[in-house]
Amino acid sequence: MVGTASRSDLHDAGRIVLRVLGVAVGAYAASAALVAGAVALLMLAGADKRDAFTVCSILGFAVYVALALWAAAVRRLSVLFGVLGLTTALGAALGFLPAFVGRA
């Protein structure tokens, strides 16, 4: 029958949408959080805020590309979202570190 999708086709389409969201949004969020965390660590180490941001932003693009390629290649969606979620949480936690230490 033309125009009807089977349950398996809908399941596969949902997995594709989740994979694309993981590659586009998840990798971006994780790399942005890692950039924020790296800037915070460099600031705590004594680097100037502008210099730390410039260096980490440049490196952040390479991190984003690497995460996006990995996200497209990983087999299981649970591993994909687990790693991206933990990476985002770690970067965000590191990003707030100067505020906790009092050197924001």
In a domain, 78, yes or no: yes
Which residue type, as a one-letter code, is found at position 12?
D
Residue 62: both structure tokens together: 């390479």
Q: Are 36 and 49 in contact (CB under 8 A)?
A: no
* Residue 60 covered by a domain: yes
Q: How many domains does the chain have?
A: 1
At 64, the amino acid letter reads Y
User: What pLDDT was estimated at residue 82?
Assistant: 96
Decide if 91 is inside a domain: yes
Question: Within a 10 A sphere around the Cβ of 73, how many other Cβ atoms?
Answer: 9
Token pair recorded at residue 30: 């994780």
Q: Is residue 67 part of a domain?
A: yes
Q: Can you give the pLDDT at residue 103?
A: 66
DSSP letter (8 states) at residue 102: T
pTM (two decimals)? 0.84
pLDDT tens per residue across all 104 residues of the chain: 556 667 788 788 889 999 999 999 999 999 999 999 999 999 999 999 999 999 999 999 999 999 999 999 999 999 999 999 999 999 999 998 888 887 65
77 lies in some domain = yes
- What token pair was written down for 103? 């050197």
Q: What confidence score (pLDDT) does residue 3 get? A: 60
What is the extent of the structural domain holding 73? 37-104
Greatest alpha-carbon span in the chain: 67
